[in-house]
A and B are shown apart, each in its own frame.
Chain A
Amino acid sequence: MPDEKREEALRKELDQVLAAGDTEKGTQIARQALESGLTPTEFFVGIIQPLLYDVGKRFERLEIFLPDLMKAAKVIQTMQREVLEPAILAESGEGSELGTVVIGTCQGDIHDIGKNMVALMLQVNGFRVIDLGTDVSPQNFIDAARKEEADIIGMSSLLTPSMPYMGDLIKRLEGLGLREQYKVIVGGAPVTEAYAERIGADAYGADAVHAVQMCRQLIGLEG
């Protein structure tokens, strides 16, 4: 089969596997694809990314729902962990993960739906994500970032009185002499780009897709 046709058939098959959340079949297909000569990057960029884009668009139109998105994410994560990551490591001696993001909802705030979407989108796009959940104090963010050797700290806030903790965290990083070690991204319904700038955050994410673009930029990749 010519390459284009073969890739198209692969995408079709994988689309069904993502919809079914079949992690086993997913890893099997990824293995076969690499055996047939595709490099891990060709497979991810040429096959997975367009599918991901499509799944994301379908969710935006609410043709599919959050559990469907999670199912697709599980398949992709398993593929990455079990097939792509070891292949890249074997080839270049380096891991494929883009970087580590420690993410959570600020202190006193239990709104997590938007934060969960952001975490999910970061994961499927190749970031290692440590989700600290909700009601996370500035110090807990910092402790986790140190422990996980994070590149980025991501804070979500849906409440006016939980937003100030974002600025508090940045000041605390400065006070501890750690500001240069971590990039900080903030988001959530009441947070604006101007607010993010005012508190000295490195980036603002308007929605989950935008948050991924910004995190890529923060680690020096194209958005």
Chain B
Amino acid sequence: MRNAVRLVDVLDRMEAGPIIEEEDFDMRLVPETMAELQAKYDISIPPDAPFVPDDDALADRLFEAGLEMAEAIGVLCTDTGRRMLWTRSEILDAIGIAPDHLTVGAFPDAHTEYKRLPEDTRRITIKGGPVGTPSPEHLYVAIQQSYAQEPLVDLMIDGSLETVYGREGRSHSPWEVLLSWHEMEMVLTAVQRAGRPGLGIGCTENSVSEIGELTVTAADRLGPHHWHHVAMISEFKTNYALMTKVAHIHKTGSILHSFYNTIYGGTAGGREGMAIAIVGGCILMQMAYMTTTHSVSPTHPFYGNTTSPDILRAIAPAQQALSRNTHLLNDVVITPVGGPGTKTLLYEVAAQSLLAVSSGAAALIGPRSAAGTEPGHVSGLEARFMAEVAHAAAGMSRAEANRLVAEMVARYKADLDQRPVGKRFDEVYDVVRVQPTEEWLGIYEEVKSELRELGLNLDSAAAHDCVGRSTTV
């Protein structure tokens, strides 16, 4: 829950908190705290642990560890060199009054995202889009339309632009204004073309610094009812530019979504450290940014994905920890190594969707295909697939989800270091009709058949019904 008093209080802490050297924060405070809390709360996720554990006690211990981590570390503002800190009771108060649902977008396409529990029968929210992946300018509208026109996509998230009016853009310069405006012009065209003018839009993705966000919000290109993004720097850091976005988004009464990508093997550590960092990171984004929805995207340092087995093993218990102990709206970003036209991509997306849905995530974001780094290697069909699998998994037990995730991981594990980036959008879609090619559709149907054979009911009412049973929180 945000208000002007809390915003000023956060900014005060940013100017008055304890001073620390960034290196000391990164290299001592974060790793030492993680190691201490891992031992104190007996957090163990062995390399052969289930992908989707069914261990509520572990989830609850993880929550306690994440809460204590948030209190002990706080958020470092690199411009002031100070840590913003909150006491345990301040944290509990703040997360206690955070909203448990949120409506994004405008009539007639507004969508409400709800908090979910592990094994919840309520449908998860689908936020489809390329999540920052750069795309050639001439394909940008068609790419965004390919997501917007998918009926199961509830909200859209944008890609980045490779160029602006054929020129190279430059971050933190007048070019960022043009890039951000051009993104808005084109995504608003895409949602119009898809016949969903009120669809909630995520970003501005080209607002690398604060400039883009300020310009598109000020001119009401990206209205307050869309979801505006602010990153937290891994691990647990922010700066004036990001806090400027926060202040601006609050003062304009806009919806704030924050995200951060803990790095596997980075200062937070391995599986256990990542799991604690996911929980503590979400709590800290809530405290520093007063955000309404959050996502954490634990990233592999060499493959850039979120679907490696060790990462999945951290995401599931962390998501369960947050869902069981708070009503924060936590989203899971899916970043596969596979790109359009590959089965790898679909296996990865299926695995992480099943895992997130059964662990109680509120929304799925993506897929950020081909690790989000291969220009134009994204398409709306993978978002349709993500939604279908996710809705078929509503109400699924964690044990059953674990069985299916293991099946999927076995099918893609060997591809992870191969960079199977697949094909660019214009090779898997007819860009005029904005429809997938027969070849890409065929691959998609094949993987769906494989999932059906494994017992996933992709044809159930849950996969298509728009009204899921709600859970009282």
Contacts and interface: CB of A to CB of B under 8 A. Distances in A.
Interface centre among B27, B171, B175, B302 (most CB of A within 10 A): B171
A71 B263 CA distance: 18
A160 B162 contact: yes
Given A66-B266, A70-B27, A164-B170, A190 B208 contact: no
Interface centre among B27, B208, B266, B304 (most CB of A within 10 A): B208
A110 B233 contact: yes
B134 A66 contact: no
Contact of B209 (A70, A108, A113, A163): A108
Interface size class of A (residues with CB under 8 A): 20 to 34
Interface in B283-317: 301-302, 304, 310
Given A160-B134, A160-B160, A59 B208 contact: no
Contacts of B27: 67, 70
Contact of B310 (A59, A62, A164, A189): A62
Interface centre among A106, A108, A135 (most CB of B within 10 A): A108
B234 interface: yes
A162 interface: yes
Contacts, number: 76
A108 B208 contact: yes
Given A62-B310, A65-B270, A108-B176, A162 B171 contact: yes
A61 to B, nearest CB: 10
Contacts of B206: 161
Given A108-B171, A108-B176, A60 B304 contact: no
A62 B266 contact: no
B31 interface: yes
Contacts of B270: 62, 65
B459 interface: no
Contacts of B373: 189-190
Interface in B128-155: 134
A113 B208 contact: no
B266 A161 contact: no
A161 B310 contact: no
A133 B55 CA distance: 42
Interface string B255-282: 0000000011111011001000000000
Given A108-B209, A109-B208, A189-B304, A66 B265 contact: yes
Contacts of A106: 171
B172 to A, nearest CB: 3
A67 B267 contact: yes
Contacts of A159: 160, 171, 208
B446 interface: no
A109 B265 contact: no
A100 interface: no
Interface string A180-216: 0000000001100000000000000001000000000
A161 B301 contact: no
Contacts of B208: 108-109, 159, 161-162
Interface centre among B265, B270, B304 (most CB of A within 10 A): B265
- If over half of B's interface residues share one DSSP class (helix, strand or loop), that class is named, otherwise mixed; here it is loop
A59 B263 CA distance: 13
Contacts of B310: 62
A77 interface: no
Given A113-B301, A159-B208, A165-B170, A62 B134 contact: no
Contacts of A161: 160, 168-171, 175-176, 179, 206, 208
B244 interface: no
A12 B162 CA distance: 50
Given A60-B302, A62-B310, A67 B269 contact: yes
B192 interface: no
A107 B168 CA distance: 14
Contacts of B301: 62, 113, 117
B317 to A, nearest CB: 19
Contacts of B31: 65, 67
A14 B468 CA distance: 60
Contact of B134 (A70, A109, A117, A190): A190
A62 B206 CA distance: 32
A207 B303 CA distance: 12
Interface string A150-168: 0000000001111111000
Interface in B316-360: none
A62 B265 contact: yes
Nearest to A59: B265
Contacts of A60: 302
B239 interface: yes
A122 B57 CA distance: 44
A113 B237 CA distance: 13
Interface in A88-119: 106-110, 113, 117
Contacts of B169: 160-161, 164
Given A62-B265, A162-B171, 12 more contacts: A67-B31, A108-B171, A108-B173, A109-B171, A113-B234, A160-B134, A160-B169, A161-B171, A161-B175, A161-B206, A161-B208, A190-B134
10 contacts: A62-B310, A65-B265, A65-B269, A65-B270, A67-B267, A106-B171, A108-B208, A113-B266, A161-B176, A164-B168
Interface of A: 59-60, 62, 65-67, 70, 106-110, 113, 117, 135, 159-165, 189-190, 207
Query: 7 nearest interchain CB pairs?
Result: A108-B171, A108-B172, A67-B31, A161-B171, A161-B169, A164-B168, A65-B265
